[in-house]
Structure 1
Amino acid sequence: MQIYQNTKIAGNKSLYISGQTPSKEGYTPHGIEEQTEIVLEKIITALHENNLTVDDLVKITIYITDVAYLPGVRSKLASFVGASKPTSTLVVVAGLIDPDFKVEIDGIAAF
Structure 2
Amino acid sequence: MAIYQSTKIAGSKSLYISGQTPSKDGFTPETISEQMDIVLEKIQAALEENGLTVEELVKITIYLTHVDYLSGAREKLAAFVGSSKPTATLVIVAGLIDPAFKIEIDGIAAF
Please state which band the TM-score falls in when normalised by the shorter chain: over 0.9
Whole-angstrom CA distance in 2 between matches of 1:85 and 1:5? 11
Determine if contact 2:57/2:110 at 8 Å carries over to the other structure.
yes
Residue 62 in 1 paired to residue 62 in 2?
Answer: yes
1:1-111 equivalences under 5 Å are 5-10=4-9, 12-111=12-111
Contact 2:20 2:39 in 1 (8 A): yes
TM-fit CA distance, 1:5: 4.7
Q: CA deviation at 1:15?
A: 0.1
TM-score by length of 2: 0.93
Q: Give distance in 2, aligned partners of 1:81 and 1:7.
A: 17
In structure 1, distance between residues paired with 2:35 and 2:52? 23
Query: What secondary structure, in the 3-state scheme, does the structure 1 residue paired with 2:26 have?
Result: coil
Residues 49-74 of structure 1: per-residue CA shift (max 9 Å, x gap): 00000000000000000000000000
- 5+ residue gaps, structure 1, are none
Q: Pairwise CA RMSD of aligned residues?
A: 1.1
CA contact (8 A) 1:7 1:87 kept: no
Q: 1:33 to 1:7 in 2, by over 3 A?
A: farther
Provide the C-alpha distance between the structure 1 equivalents of 2:83 and 2:21, rounded to a whole number of angstroms: 24
Question: Does the 8 Å contact 2:61/2:90 carry over to 1?
Answer: yes
Moved more, 6-15 or 87-96: 6-15
> For residue 55 of structure 1, what is the amino acid of its counterpart?
E
Shift of 1:6: 3.2
CA contact (8 A) 2:4 2:87 kept: no
Percent identity at matched positions?
69
